[in-house]
């Protein structure tokens, strides 16, 4: 099999200082330098970012959609895990 000359990279952008990098899409590029440039050109044209990460798509291990039920359904019935069962005094303000 021939080596893929321009593999896929996942792009993460941090919109502002203090926020986390968020996945926003993917690009094709020959290496990490070109991947960063491609990400800059494709995903930050409207001032979306202050920082970019690129990660080889092949480095990502994903959960199997077939295991969706056993992975995620048990959480649905545990509403008590949501921090909504107490009142926040007004003086505390926005949390």
Partner 1 sequence: MAAASSLSRETLTAFLLRLADDHLVLGHRLSEWCGHAPMLEEDLAMPNMALDLIGQARSLYQYAGAVEGKGRDEDQLAYMRREREYVNCLMAERQNGDFAHTMLRQFYFAAFMQPLWQAMMTSTDEHLAGIAAKAEKEVAYHIRHAGEWVVRLGDGTEESTRRMKAAVEALAPYVDELFESDEVTRAMAEAGIAPDPTTLRSAFDAIVGPVFAEAGLEWVETPYGQTGGRQGRHGEALGFLLAELQYMQRTYPGMTW
Q: Which residues contact partner 1 by CB under 8 A?
A: 6, 27-30, 33-34, 37-38, 40-42, 45
DSSP secondary structure of 54-86: EEEGGG-----GGGHHHHHHHHHT-GGGSS-SS
Tell me whether residue 34 or residue 63 sits nearer to partner 1 (CB atom): 34
- For the bound state, the minimum distance from the C-beta of residue 31 to partner 1, rounded and expressed in Å, comes to 8
Tell me whether residue 17 or residue 30 sits nearer to partner 1 (CB atom): 30
Tell me whether residue 29 or residue 52 sits nearer to partner 1 (CB atom): 29
- For the bound state, the minimum distance from the C-beta of residue 69 to partner 1, rounded and expressed in Å, comes to 36
Residue among 54, 56, 43, 40 nearest 8 (CA): 56
Which element (helix H / strand E) includes 35? helix 32-43
């Amino acid at each position: 099999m021939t080596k893929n000359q321009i593999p896929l990279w996942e792009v993460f952008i941090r919109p502002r200082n203090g926020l986390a990098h968020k996945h926003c899409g993917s690009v094709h590029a020959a290496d990490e330098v070109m991947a960063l440039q491609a990400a800059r050109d494709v995903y930050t044209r409207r001032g979306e970012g202050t920082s970019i990460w690129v990660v080889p798509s092949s480095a990502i291990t994903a959960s199997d959609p077939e295991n969706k039920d056993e992975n995620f359904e048990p959480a649905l019935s545990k509403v008590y895990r949501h921090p909504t069962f107490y009142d926040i005094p007004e003086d505390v303000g926005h949390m």
